[in-house]
Amino acid sequence: MLSCFLGVSPLNKLLRCLSIIFNLTFLMPLMTFINSINHYRALAIVLIVSAHAFDISLVTIDTFFESVIKNLISGGTINFVFISGFLFYTVFYHRFDFKKFLNNKVKRLLLPYLFLSVVPIFLYLYAKPDFWEVSILNYDLTQGSVAHYFISIFKFLISGAHMVAYWYIPFAMLLFLFSPLHVKFIELKLNYQVFIVSGLLLIALFVHRPHEKIRAYQVIHSLFYFMPVYLLGILCAQQRNNIYKMLKNKELVLLGAVLGLAVFQSYLGYVGNYHYDIDKIDGSIDLILLQKIIMCFFFMVWLNRFEDRKHPWIDTLAKFSFPIFFLHAYVLNFLFVIHDHFKHYITSPWLAYLFFTFLLVAFSIVLAKITTRLFPKYAFMLIGYGSKK
């Protein structure tokens, strides 16, 4: 640090000292690492991966209890969106620069998404050239023409339909484009913030999630559904000390509400996420969304109890959350390719489910580590993890 002041005029020395004091006094406390949210991110990525392990494990939902379990696991992305909003306030807001923020997201999310999408999109164009049937731009488009391929690639990229969970990236990039509005939201009075979140949440409860892999415009639908969760994450980050005080020792009540909603959803005959087209709303309330919002409060408050504890394997999960997200789809597809060779040995689907969830996470981490070893300079661009240089 002393080397920074060598050969500097007295006035510049004073200005630098004042800058350092300001950063240490005001900015550093605001950007304090929140260990409990790091733990939450680890749990969130496991929930997302576990939701994709059902089919490969040959799990069938035959009993009421199994449907409750499925309802508790489904919708894990909501946790991820909540955390993203929470971190927007705690990490980016106090030093917000839209250009730098978006550039960071492009490098961490969009570039890996584009790179990892090349092979699956090529395979879809080769094996299922009629995946999109007809183009929304030209109903007379000739299959196999340059325009057909171009528009099909465009539709894959804006929908993420070519890989499990990849729909999240186009949605996330669109969400981040609204960041200047999120900053404005942060600077509103609390009553206005609550009104906005409540209004958007009410819309989301009836709009539901879009059908995955069907509509090219599902990214817009996803924005309507997840935006209130993101803003709720921001609001909870702003009010976290008040929330910790208000909900202290009420974790069992929150957990009971989560379980109660999962049971009630099963009683109504709904299993898993509510998927409807935006133009076919049937008036039902999305109980998964309601359940997961309460789950967000539960994890936020409960994990705060362990703020001062470190768990190496949980830290590893959190650290590798982005590459796990990107790579578990590849691992899953590989398992489906060899599925016929091992499916006859699955005698207990639920045990297989736990095993394959572990396998998806573990293999994704291994692939991420191999990538960073082989391509240390490019790993961040390839899988969203590694050195940014």
| DSSP letter for each residue of 154-189 | HHHHHH-TTSTTTTHHHHHHHHHHTHHHHHHHHTS-
Residue spans of the domains in the chain: they are 45-61+311-389, 75-309
Q: Quick one: average pLDDT of 164-182?
A: 95
> How far is residue 59's CA from residue 244's CA, in Å, rounded to a whole number?
38
Lowest mean per-residue pLDDT among 61-65, 263-267, 342-346: 342-346
pLDDT in tens, 95-148: 999 999 999 999 999 999 999 999 999 998 888 887 876 444 444 455 557 777
CA angle 87, 92, 98 (to 5 degrees): 130
What is the distance between the alpha carbons of residues 136 and 132, in angstroms, rounded to a whole number? 9
DSSP 146-162: HHHHHHHHHHHHHH-TT
**For residue 271, which of 288, 256, 258 has the smallest C-alpha distance?**
288
Give the pLDDT confidence score for residue 14 in this predicted structure.
52
pLDDT at 286 (0 to 100): 92
What are the backbone angles phi and psi of residue 209, rounded to the nearest 5°? -80, 155
Considering only 237-251, 278-292, 296-310, which range has the smallest mean pLDDT? 278-292
Estimate to the nearest angstrom the gap between the alpha carbon of 331 and the chain centroid: 18
Torsion, CA 322, CA 323, CA 325, CA 327, rounded to 10: 170
pLDDT at 135: 44
Whole-model pTM? 0.87
Q: 363 vs 342, which has greater pLDDT?
A: 363
SS3 208: coil
Query: How much is the average pLDDT of 342-356?
Result: 92
**Cross-strand pairs, 275:** 209
* Cα end-to-end span (Å), the chain: 23
Q: Can you tell me whether residue 134 is helix, strand or coil?
A: coil
* Local confidence band at 30 (pLDDT 50, 70, 90 cut-offs): very low
User: Measured between alpha carbons, how far is 187 from 284 in angstroms, rounded to an integer?
Assistant: 34
Q: Work out the mean pLDDT of the chain and round it to a whole number.
A: 86
Q: What angle do CA 297, 302, 308 make, to 5 degrees?
A: 125
pLDDT of residue 138: 45
Share of the chain above pLDDT 70, in %: 85
Least confident of 56-70, 200-214, 245-259: 200-214
User: What is the predicted pLDDT for the residue at 10?
Assistant: 54
Percentage of the chain modeled with pLDDT above 90:
65
